[in-house]
């Protein structure tokens, strides 16, 4: 039983991380109708930014998180301007190549700058644990859950209540109509990208102290997040969050009871089975790209 | 400006999709305080004409002026700000947002949010259907109700000219009646209307002036009454 709880808690932690990363991907897909294959690399860059601020510069952890997120929102704006805007009206093939190329460039840039040795950033919260039954849970995991829940609530509020948030929904529902009524598609896309990048940074700032960061960490995180986005239904943010948690738990249970080395396959096995039964995802409606 | 100069003037306008030439030199004028109607067979280029005015389809030749200002190479956003709004053929709203949110999006380019809120209230008085369904998702409304919503959204930018493409498309006769009534109401508020319609008889009966297009060219024009009584038009477009 204790072992089960341990795996479950691991799974929820993983799920929360995937959900934060996948939310960014999903919001961006909703508004721009394109998958940003460099999204995982924004996560990876965030991890290094945190290590730089917190470990190398000695900025207090809380402040380092805030700076990391703020910094990555700016990187998101820049990324949208440099990589996304030139291809947003092109075919999906060109968009795929542009964002994939950006991903390769960022990964290799990270190797050049920081090398391939994983970097760690342990915090007081990650080093201290409390016991439930005979299971140790670090406070960092609780922090991750709290941050995930709070940031999802904030995002929901933003999208439902603010003018910019409503425009994000409008653009994702009907792009042609958005042109007709003069919605600022470029500006909103830019903000959306900042939000997506900010979510990746939030995930990375809290997860890096639990694991570590290395240049290729983005690829796997990206694949899992993409699986969650597809499972949840493309562009359907709440569905994405549920799917991410489901994937995290599946992966942890698979790692614990079936095969640890093949844990990464679990998410994709689920993905393949679900898509066989429901091609539009669990919660999704049909979209075409 | 003298009182007779047209609000919108198209002169020998040509437009094409790649190699397909659709408008081959169309001219027309729209005056303030009038409903101007364009009729023509399927594929005559009526929708293309409105898209060209709104800047969605680029004109290859000719002149388009609005309030005597050349607007031919302007983007939709800039045309919108000059005072032309557009309600395209087919559905043009945000289906998973409430009526109120849709109206707010219609007014997105405006920064005077207080006045916008007041104007939404005024629109609610004018079109009680919208008020009744305030919180309903636009996608759950009937086709005619969505058409009225879209016209209301376009009106929130206080356009001097409203372009409307096939407002009665796919509506039952009762709804159609309401939509045409709404268009007359829009004219009475002081907004000029340039409307494209398949239902020529009904459209002509509420219009002041009409142009008949055929294969991307002008064929006839005149007061709506005279077009309605023209034997050639009656034979070809009214089935009489
Ligand atoms: N996006 C497009 N690309 C290529 N050809 C187009 C496009 N849109 C319209 N056309 C062609 O241009 C011609 C005129 O189209 P348009 O939509 O302006 O006609 P219409 O008079 O509005 O017809 P309808 O009554 O069917 O709405 C048609 O032959 C159509 O096939
Ligand atoms: Mg048409």
**Residue B68 to residue B30: CA distance in whole angstroms:** 12
**Residue A155 to residue A232: CA distance in whole angstroms:** 17
Residue A1, pLDDT > 60, answer yes
DSSP A36-56: -TTHHHHHHHHHHHHIIIIII
Instruction: List the one residue out of A192, A181, A169 whose CA is nearest residue B108.
Output: A181
Q: What pLDDT score was predicted for residue A270?
A: 84
Beta bridge partners of B15: B23, B59
Q: What pLDDT score was predicted for residue A285?
A: 62
- Structure letter (DSSP) for residue B71: -
- Does ipTM exceed 0.85? yes
- Residue A181, classed as helix, strand or coil, is coil
**Residue A199 to residue A101: CA distance in whole angstroms:** 22
Residue A45, pLDDT > 50, answer yes
Residue A286, pLDDT > 70, answer no
Task: Identify the segments of chain B with pLDDT beneath 70.
Answer: 1-3, 240
Query: pLDDT (tens digit, 9 = 90+) per residue, A179-221?
Result: 999 999 999 999 999 999 999 999 999 999 999 999 999 998 9
Pocket lining: B102 vs ligand 1, CB cutoff 6 Å: no
What is the Cβ-side half-sphere exposure of residue B40, based on CA atoms within 13 angstroms?
Answer: 27
Q: Which residue has the tokens 């995802």?
A: A281
- Contact in structure between A233 and A239 (CB atoms under 8 Å): yes
CB contact under 8 A, B101 and A179: no
User: Which of B57, B80, B105 is best to mutate for the A interface (most A CBs within 10 A)?
Assistant: B105
Q: What pLDDT score was predicted for residue B126?
A: 86
B42 CA: nearest ligand 1 atom: 25
CB contact under 8 A, A169 and B97: yes
**If you average pLDDT over residues A139-165, what whole number do you get?**
95
Range A181-214 burial, b when 16+ CB lie within 10 A, else e:
bbbbbeebbbbbbbbbbbbbbbbbbbbbbbebbb
Q: What pLDDT score was predicted for residue A29?
A: 92
Q: Which residue has the tokens 């859950």?
A: A145
**If you average pLDDT over residues A258-279, what whole number do you get?**
84
Taking a 5 Å cut-off on Cβ, the residues next to ion ligand 2 are B 47, 89
Percent helix, strand, coil in chain A (nearest 5)? Answer: 75, 5, 20
What is the percentage of chain A residues whose pLDDT exceeds 90? 73
The pTM of the full predicted model, rounded to 2 decimals, is 0.89
**If you average pLDDT over residues A264-289, what whole number do you get?**
75
Beta bridge partners of B193: B35, B162
**Residue A105 to residue A102: CA distance in whole angstroms:** 5
Pocket lining: B52 vs ligand 1, CB cutoff 6 Å: no
- The long-range contacts involving A55-61, CB below 8 angstroms and separated by at least 24 positions, are A55/A119, A55/A120, A55/A121, A61/A123, A61/A124, A61/A125, A61/A209
Q: What pLDDT score was predicted for residue A274?
A: 83
Secondary element (H or E) of residue A145 = helix A139-161
Sign (positive/negative) of CA torsion A106, A110, A112, A118? negative
The residue whose CA has the least distance to atom 17 of ligand 1 is B47
How many angstroms separate the first and last alpha carbons of chain A?
45
- Contact in structure between B184 and B35 (CB atoms under 8 Å): yes
**Residue A259 to residue A265: CA distance in whole angstroms:** 10
Q: Which of A63-67, A285-289, B67-71, B101-105 has the lowest mean pLDDT?
A: A285-289
The residue whose CA has the least distance to atom 26 of ligand 1 is B42
Q: How far is the CA of A178 from the centre of ligand 2 (A)?
A: 20
Q: Which residues of B touch A173 (CB under 8 A)?
A: 94-97
């Amino acid at each position: 039983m204790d072992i089960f709880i341990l795996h479950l808690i691991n799974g929820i932690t993983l799920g929360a991380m995937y959900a934060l990363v996948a939310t960014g991907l999903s919001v961006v897909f909703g508004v721009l109708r394109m998958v940003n294959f460099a999204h995982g690399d924004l996560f990876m860059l965030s991890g290094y930014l945190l290590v730089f601020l917190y470990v190398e510069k000695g900025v207090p952890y809380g402040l380092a998180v805030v700076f990391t997120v703020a910094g990555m929102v700016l990187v998101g704006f820049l990324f949208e301007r440099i990589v996304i805007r030139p291809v947003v009206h092109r075919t999906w093939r060109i968009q795929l190549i542009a964002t994939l190329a950006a991903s390769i460039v960022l990964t290799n840039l990270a190797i050049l700058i920081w090398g391939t040795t994983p970097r760690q950033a342990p915090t007081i919260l990650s080093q201290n644990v409390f016991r439930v039954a005979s299971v140790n849970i670090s406070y960092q995991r609780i922090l991750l859950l709290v941050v995930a829940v709070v940031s999802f609530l904030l995002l929901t509020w933003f999208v439902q209540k603010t003018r910019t948030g409503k425009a994000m929904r409008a653009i994702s529902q009907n792009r042609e109509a958005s042109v007709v009524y003069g919605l600022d598609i470029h500006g909103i896309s830019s903000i959306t990208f900042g939000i997506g990048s900010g979510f990746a940074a939030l995930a990375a700032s809290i997860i890096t102290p639990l694991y570590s960061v290395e240049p290729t960490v983005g690829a796997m995180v990206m694949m899992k997040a993409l699986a969650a986005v597809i499972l949840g239904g493309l562009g359907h943010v709440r569905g994405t969050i549920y799917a991410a948690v489901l994937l995290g738990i599946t992966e942890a249970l698979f790692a614990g009871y079936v095969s640890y080395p093949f844990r990464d396959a679990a998410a994709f096995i689920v993905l393949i089975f679900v898509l066989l039964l429901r091609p539009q995802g669990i919660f999704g409606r049909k979209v075409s790209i | 400006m003298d009182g007779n100069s047209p609000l919108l003037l198209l002169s020998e306008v040509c437009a094409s999709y790649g190699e397909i030439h659709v408008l081959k030199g169309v001219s027309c004028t729209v005056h303030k305080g009038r409903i101007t109607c364009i009729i023509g067979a399927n594929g005559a280029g009526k929708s293309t004409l409105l898209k060209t005015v709104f800047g969605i389809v680029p004109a290859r030749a000719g002149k388009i002026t609005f309030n005597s200002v050349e607007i031919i190479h302007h983007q939709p956003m800039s045309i919108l700000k000059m005072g032309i709004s557009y309600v395209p053929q087919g559905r043009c709203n945000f289906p998973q947002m409430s009526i109120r949110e849709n109206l707010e999006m219609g007014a997105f380019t405006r920064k005077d949010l207080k006045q916008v809120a007041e104007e939404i209230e005024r629109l609610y008085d004018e079109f009680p259907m919208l008020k009744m369904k305030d919180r309903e998702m636009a996608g759950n409304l009937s086709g005619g109700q969505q058409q009225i919503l879209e016209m209301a959204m376009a009106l929130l930018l206080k356009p001097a000219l409203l372009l409307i493409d096939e407002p009665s498309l796919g509506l039952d006769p009762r709804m159609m009646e309401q939509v045409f009534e709404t268009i007359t109401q829009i004219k009475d508020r002081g907004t000029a209307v340039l409307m494209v319609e398949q239902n020529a008889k009904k459209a002509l009966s509420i219009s002041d002036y009409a142009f008949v297009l055929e294969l991307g060219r002008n064929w006839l024009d005149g007061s709506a009454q005279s077009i309605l009584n023209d034997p050639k038009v009656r034979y070809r477009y009214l089935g009489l």
